[in-house]
């Protein structure tokens, strides 16, 4: 039970080191780890979270807001509970901060809005349901080679500038048209410009009424970036558990969550682990990812963007995150350099749903054949670059031609890039994607110019293009 106001311990600020604050409690009654504290800062109450007990009379806390203007001796009040954020229908269409405050400049929330703590355990295993339903995205390469699961976890991995955010934005756009449920977007360490663009675009497209935005931006203290994912999860869990609604949870960028945890760990004085990451890396990632689960009757489907530092896919943060996923979409700098957008690596991407028992024998066989064709082409690329395609045997030349056409067919224009490219976006059904891949692998497109298949929707559009070319 939560202590009454008279019983709540009060303390004084003893030391301030950036976002880390040491607080003395003279009576020796210390608030538990993860409890929220309210610091009476000159510019208003500042929220901090207890991270450790330093000794019998003091705790070390991390502030979730800027600590400028704080001084020793300022009064601190324990709340007797973790940070609690508003949930439910009242937050639909709103932008929240990690502490649950309104961040869109709009009206305050009603006083009777329910609040839930950001720290809670995942649903028990016997209450969780397996994710076996395909979540069609309309993006050909993903639906073919790395299908997403409704109620599953998928991530887009890629270095800087290869199109992670654009792909997540296109998925938001695609889901808004065909997805029945609520969307929760967590902007973890996002640029202020990206947050503003997302909010403006959602208002213009009319999907904001079914969406909750939670932002801890790049210019905010590490504590805010560290907790924004948990705030978004808490909002999503309420819709799943209390209202039995399906929830689409979008996170951009989960690497920033790990990065914020690493900053906090260093400020708390913990010894770093591999590559300078926090020693608690695996448990922190698990605490976030294991709460993304589906229960009987309602699901939380997570789509995450993950920055890969220096394009190193063996980075400890990347491997820790990928261990929890159902579908992995790798974005390749080489594909982006060739103009193959979305720059998805067809051989590096995978999904546990690409199984004959889930997608059917036809889809599985086509996906495997497509992979084999593209892998064979990749093996021959060195020979082609050194000696030319004329030096290959007839069968190899045939495979290379089909692989190049398949590569181009798996590109497509996006709705969210229409303003920059001038090309209308395309959404392609799974049946049309499979029909197009089958036609290319069976040789129907062998005589078509490769450009006829580049940045098209379905195979019918490519066929029309090929017929129009002299």
Q: Which residues are catalytic?
A: 164, 190-191
How far, CA to CA in Å, does 173 sit from each of 166, 170, 384? 10, 5, 39
Rounded CA separation 238/438 (Å): 43
Determine the Cα–Cα distance for residues 405 and 450; give it in Å rounded to an integer: 6
Q: Between 254-267 and 281-289, two packed helices, what is the crossing angle to 10 degrees?
A: 140
- Stated as kind and residue range, the H or E segment containing 45 is strand 44-53
Q: What is the DSSP string of 60-129?
A: EEEESS--TT--TT-EEEE-SS--EEE-SGGGTT-EE-TTS-B-SS-PPPPTT--EEES--PPPPGGGB-
Q: What are phi and psi of 345, to 5 degrees?
A: -75, 110
Q: DSSP string spanning 362-385?
A: HHHHHHHHHHHHHHHHHHHHHHHH
CA distance 138 to 178: 10
Task: Work out whether strand 247-252 and strand 300-307 pair parallel, antiparallel, or are unpaired.
Answer: parallel
Look at residue 184 and give its three-state secondary structure: strand
The whole-angstrom separation of Cα 145 and Cα 465 is 25
Query: Which DSSP symbol is given to 391?
Result: G
Alpha-carbon gap, residue 410 to 141, rounded angstroms? 5
Listed residue (97, 96, 95, 100) closest to 84, CA to CA: 100
Q: How many residues does the chain have?
A: 470
Write the CA distances from 116 to 61, 240, 248, 379, integer angstroms.
Answer: 21, 13, 19, 54
* 342: preceding bond cis by omega (within 30 degrees): yes
Report the largest interatomic distance among the alpha carbons of the chain, rounded to a whole angstrom: 88
Q: Judge residue 283's burial from the number of C-beta atoms within 10 Å of its C-beta, 0-12 exposed, 13-18 middle, 19 or more buried.
A: exposed
């Amino acid at each position: 039970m939560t202590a009454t106001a008279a019983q709540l311990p009060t303390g004084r600020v003893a030391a301030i080191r950036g976002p880390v604050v040491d607080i003395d409690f003279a009576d020796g009654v210390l608030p538990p780890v993860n409890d929220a504290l309210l610091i009476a800062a000159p510019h208003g109450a500042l929220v901090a979270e207890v991270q450790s007990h330093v000794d019998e009379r003091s705790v070390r806390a991390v502030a979730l807001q800027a600590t400028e203007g704080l001084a020793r001796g300022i009064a601190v009040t324990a709340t007797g509970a973790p940070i609690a954020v508003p949930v439910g229908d009242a937050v639909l269409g709103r932008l929240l901060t990690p502490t649950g405050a309104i961040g869109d400049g709009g009206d305050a929330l009603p006083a009777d809005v329910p609040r839930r703590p950001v720290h809670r355990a995942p649903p028990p295993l016997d209450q969780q349901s397996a994710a076996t339903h395909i979540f069609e995205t309309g993006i050909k390469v993903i639906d073919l080679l790395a299908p997403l699961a409704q109620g599953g976890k998928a991530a887009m991995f890629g270095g800087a500038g290869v199109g992670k955010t654009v792909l997540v934005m296109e998925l938001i756009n695609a889901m808004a048209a065909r997805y029945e449920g609520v969307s929760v977007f967590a902007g973890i360490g996002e640029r202020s410009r990206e947050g503003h663009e997302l909010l403006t675009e959602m208002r213009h497209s009319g999907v904001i009424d079914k969406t909750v935005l939670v932002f801890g931006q790049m210019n905010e203290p590490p504590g805010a970036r560290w907790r924004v994912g948990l705030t978004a999860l808490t909002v999503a869990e309420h819709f799943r558990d209390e209202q039995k609604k399906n929830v689409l949870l979008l996170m951009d960028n989960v690497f920033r969550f790990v990065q914020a945890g690493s900053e906090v760990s260093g400020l708390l004085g913990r010894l770093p682990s591999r590559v300078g990451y926090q020693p608690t890396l695996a448990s922190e990632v698990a605490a976030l990812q294991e709460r993304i689960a589906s229960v009987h009757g309602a699901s939380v489907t997570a789509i995450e963007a993950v920055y890969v530092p220096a394009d190193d896919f063996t980075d400890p943060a990347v491997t820790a995150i990928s261990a929890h996923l159902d579908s992995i979409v790798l974005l390749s700098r080489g594909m982006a350099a060739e103009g193959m957008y979305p720059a998805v690596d067809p051989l590096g991407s995978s999904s546990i749903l690409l199984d004959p028992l889930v997608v059917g024998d036809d889809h599985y066989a086509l996906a495997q054949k497509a992979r084999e064709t593209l892998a064979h082409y990749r093996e021959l690329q060195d020979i082609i670059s050194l000696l030319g395609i004329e030096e290959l045997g007839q069968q190899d030349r045939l495979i290379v031609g089909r692989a190049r056409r398949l590569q181009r067919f798996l590109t497509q224009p996006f709705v969210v890039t229409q303003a920059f490219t001038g090309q209308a976006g395309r959404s392609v059904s799974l049946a049309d994607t499979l029909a197009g891949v089958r036609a290319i692998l069976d040789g129907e497109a062998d005589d078509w110019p490769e450009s006829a298949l580049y940045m098209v929707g379905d195979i019918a559009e490519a066929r029309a293009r090929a017929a129009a070319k002299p």
